[in-house]
């Protein structure tokens, strides 16, 4: 009988390229069986065959367009019902650049479906599956643009990634005590296909800020191993992020009050 401890299965969305494909590789080498989801089933099959051969793990391929409710629903059911799944990497995503007023509203909605709705529904299904077992991990891939509304031309893309960070922090606050783990990974510019797919060629990104995708995922997994809730792979000092969080929390006592602050000059209304 094997004495190898089973890590269970990891479901990785957007595993056909870029960050998701490297997560699949690293998780297989750690000993996870894999469920790999994306639209391009040919690329998933090629990756799956390599990982079965090189890492000796089970790899299942699921063709899914996460903006299509039926495809998303299949993955949600799997997360709720398959007790072998112990890790969700909510990675699939896309970017959209350009001025907000010129944007096609259907494309904006599609981006929100992929980057927000699918991430939320999959995290919800994972939490529902993990909570009764008292264990399980959800890794959500956000972005540093979720921290900087002024640093980016893709307004809705940045907003979707701010959502991912907020969602992760909230789920941690609610579910960590039940044994569930959450991590938001906030990559900076990373060398993947997302740039060309979104119409902003990667050649427009300065080399000195463009991280190699292998390094990005290895740092993200190190952050997970170190128990980080928020991992910003390029940030040298973890204390800098802690200071941002502390500044936010300092607002807390004054975010809700019986009366507006005196600086607004509003006369108090007495209860009738
Ligand atoms: N690269 C960066 O600079 C950077 C920076 C910050 C954050 N991120 C985030 O990192 C994540 C991964 O992106 P990446 O950089 O690795 O880009 P990528 O190489 O373009 O990978 C995106 C992945 O998402 C999948 N995907 C796209 N639309 C999908 C859909 N409708 N349904 C299912 N899967 C879909 C793609 O597969 P198919 O086309 O086969 O479906 C692909 O596997 C994204 O959430 C992105 O926002 C990237």
Closest by CA to 221, choosing from 6, 30, 13, is 30
pTM of the model: 0.96
Residues 6+ positions from 196 with CB-CB distance below 8 Å: 202
In a domain, 155, yes or no: yes
CATH of the domain at 168: 3.40.50.720
166 in catalytic set? no
User: pLDDT (tens digit, 9 = 90+) per residue, 6-49?
Assistant: 899 999 999 999 999 999 999 999 999 999 999 999 999 999 99
Output the pLDDT for position 153.
Answer: 62
Q: Work out the angle between the directed axes of helices 213-225 and 18-30 (0-180°, nearest 10).
A: 50
In a domain, 272, yes or no: no
User: pLDDT (tens digit, 9 = 90+) per residue, 169-192?
Assistant: 999 999 999 999 999 999 999 999
| Number of domains forming the structure of the chain | 1
| Distance set, CA 37 to CA 12, 74, 103, 128, 191 (Å) | 6, 11, 28, 20, 21
In a domain, 245, yes or no: no
Closest by CA to 161, choosing from 185, 143, 176, 177, is 143
For ligand 1, pick from 44, 62, 71, 94 the residue to mutate: most ligand atoms within 8 Å of CB: 94
CA–centroid distance, residue 130 to ligand 1 (Å) = 25
Does 189 sit in the ligand 1 pocket, CB within 6 Å? yes
How far apart are the C-alpha atoms of 9 and 183, rounded to whole Å? 17
SS3 63: strand
Output the pLDDT for position 5.
Answer: 66
In a domain, 260, yes or no: no
In a domain, 249, yes or no: no
Q: Which residues of the chain have pLDDT under 70?
A: 1-5, 152-153
CA–centroid distance, residue 139 to ligand 1 (Å) = 14
* Domain of 53, in residue numbers: 9-239
SS3 163: helix
Output the pLDDT for position 4.
Answer: 55
């Amino acid at each position: 009988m094997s004495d190898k401890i089973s890590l269970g299965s990891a479901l990785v969305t957007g595993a056909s390229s870029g960050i998701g494909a490297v997560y699949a590789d690293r998780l297989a080498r750690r000993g996870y069986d894999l469920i790999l989801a994306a639209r391009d089933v040919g690329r998933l099959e090629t990756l799956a065959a390599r990982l079965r051969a090189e890492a000796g793990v089970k790899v299942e391929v699921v063709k899914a367009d996460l903006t299509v409710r039926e495809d998303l629903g299949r993955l949600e059911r799997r997360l709720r019902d398959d007790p072998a799944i112990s890790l969700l990497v909510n990675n699939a995503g896309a970017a959209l650049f350009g001025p907000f007023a010129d944007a096609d509203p259907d494309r904006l909605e599609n981006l929100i479906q992929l980057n927000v709705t699918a991430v939320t529904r999959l995290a919800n299904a994972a939490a529902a599956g993990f909570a009764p077992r008292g264990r399980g991990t959800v890794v959500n891939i956000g972005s540093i643009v979720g921290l900087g509304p002024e640093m980016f031309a893709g307004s809705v893309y940045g907003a979707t990634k701010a959502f991912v960070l907020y969602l992760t922090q909230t789920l941690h606050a609610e579910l960590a005590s039940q044994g569930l783990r959450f991590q938001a990974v906030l990559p900076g510019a990373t060398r993947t296909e997302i740039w060309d797919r979104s119409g902003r060629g990667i050649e427009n990104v300065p080399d000195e800020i463009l991280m190699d995708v292998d390094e990005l995922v290895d740092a993200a997994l190190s952050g997970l191993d170190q128990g980080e809730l928020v991992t910003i792979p390029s940030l040298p000092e973890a204390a800098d992020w802690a200071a941002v969080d502390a500044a936010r929390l300092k607002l807390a006592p004054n975010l809700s009050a019986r009366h507006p602050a005196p600086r607004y000059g509003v006369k108090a209304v007495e209860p009738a």
